[in-house]
Chain A
């Protein structure tokens, strides 16, 4: 190794060393950028763990001198926090389950069945995807109001039970499943529901995972729609409840940050566990 003095090997060696220096710089740079980038989350935790007297210090302390859980305790004692959390969980899980069922079923039908008007219906479906949600805010409210759902969790669940985008995503994937598989099951006497449940759904797992994660996150973090249809604190979901809590405890950044942290941390934990799937899902769901 030490005796390789041919010019070629020398230049290769030099190149490799350059590369290594470049990598060290890159990693250092990334370390700094990533640290700065995540700093706001540390600040959130820092405030959440401060006592009510330390929160008033100017300038603010970066690391709490006397870290305590008192603000978390106050949030839980003073506000129906678990109720909000439960509402969010119930709504997000129901919406996700329904979206998965309706979109895979409709996607399968649009991909593998012929019936009169199929293509026309599908085109109309695609067109509804182009309308931005804020445009539908007022009329959706009027519809939900007419149905008598305003101010109940149903208002958050029912309109979200299916999605044109989800149907489109599932159709694109299920179209790639070989017809022979379905025909073979049919010849064996399987019912249409059995074919859907036992053959199509298991094969369509990857896009279903993507759609499920995407739907759950969107439902969990949704703010604009609950803001309009819910005005009862006991029926609030977390994002909506957070703004209420904030207005009740203005300037009490220790409490507000504790409440916010309790809303964010569960999602981040889930994200870290299912990181690979979530990242793939969001990229896939976005690349419509």
Chain B
């Protein structure tokens, strides 16, 4: 190390010569390209993860001069004291546990049907997919007008067929389900497409072979379609669950969480706490709880379903 003369330079040269030609220019390319991109990732993904964990252990208010460390008190407050957290958590689970099966029970048969028809398939697919590309805010406003107790079409239709009007979004027992129906309507097309892609990935040979063996349509569905669609179904289940556990936009636009917090989801409550009540420490703790719930539910789903999909 002490001898930094001739031999050191020679050694460096020898090393450089051992590398493939142009190594230096390649490394320069890698550095110049990756440094800005990774800085963005660090700044907007990794640093925020650190901040949200830090915040969850502190009492933090942007306007307050100090942010004292309070350990797990934010988490304790959520689970032991705050009735609104429990309410929001309950609403979120209720919402996701109904929306996911509803979505799959509707999208799978439609995909199966679309897979059977060839003519007009593109047209029907467009019809089912249009709501997916529309903005969730526009869709929420549209459904708000449909649900309007006085001027809405839904009540007009119900009256037409002899049923009585409902208050829909104004009714604490109905509001969350009314929003859910609108959200499922908007999202359905996406899962239809994914199921359709899964169905089209099943080779025709399988069906032909089963037909030769005399299997009827139901047997072919049970014996071929269902098992080979398992992978797609797991994918759809997990992703749909994750997205419904994060429901915000439809609820925020259509009911603002009301009436009397009956449709307030966890993300909406977190948002309100953080940006209206400015309790960012507490809100951070709640959002970490949400992440934990999403992680656990995803892992449980994968564990339960993987056992059945390994063929």
Are A and B interaction partners?
Answer: yes
- Knowing A34-B124, A106-B37, A282-B190, the reply to whether A246 touches B239 (Cβ < 8 A) is no
* Among candidates A41, A128, A193, A243, residue contacting B41 with C-beta atoms closer than 8 Å: A128
Interface size class of B (residues with CB under 8 A): 35 or more
Q: How far is the CB of B211 from chain A (nearest CB, A)?
A: 11
Contacting pair B138 A271 (CB below 8 A): no
**Are A287 and B248 touching (Cβ within 8 A)?**
no
**A40 touching B142 by the CB < 8 A rule?**
yes
Given A40, A62, A158, A261, which contacts B146 in the complex, CB threshold below 8 Å?
A40
Does B219 have its Cβ within 8 Å of any Cβ on chain A? Answer: no
Q: Evaluate contact between A224 and B248: CB separation under 8 angstroms.
A: yes
List of A residues within 8 angstroms of B43 by Cβ: 143
B125 near A279: Cβ-Cβ < 8 Å: yes
A286 and B239 contact, CB distance less than 8 A = yes
For A275, the closest partner residue in chain B by CB is B126
How big is the A interface, by class? 35 or more
Report how far A140 CA is from B284 CA in the complex, Å.
12
CB distance from B236 to the nearest CB of A (A): 9
How does the 8 Å CB contact mask read for A3-24 relative to B, with 1 for contact and 0 for none? 0000000000000000000010
Give the residues in chain B near A224, CB-CB below 8 Å.
Answer: 248-249, 271
Q: A40-B146, A134-B270, A162-B41 are in contact. Are A287 and B113 (CB under 8 A)?
A: no
- Shortest C-beta distance, B125 to chain A (Å), equals 7
- SS of B interface (majority): helix
Asked whether any CB of chain A lies closer than 8 Å to the CB of B80, the reply is no
Contacts of A55 in B (CB 8 A): 151
Determine whether A181 belongs to the interface, using a CB cutoff of 8 Å to chain B. Answer: no
B residues near A (Cβ < 8 Å) are 22, 25-27, 29-30, 33-34, 36-38, 40-41, 43-52, 55, 62, 110, 113-114, 116-117, 120, 122-139, 141-143, 145-146, 148, 150-153, 155-156, 159-160, 185, 188, 190, 193-194, 197, 235, 239, 242, 246, 248-249, 253, 267, 270-271, 274-275, 280, 283-284, 287-288, 290-291, 294-295
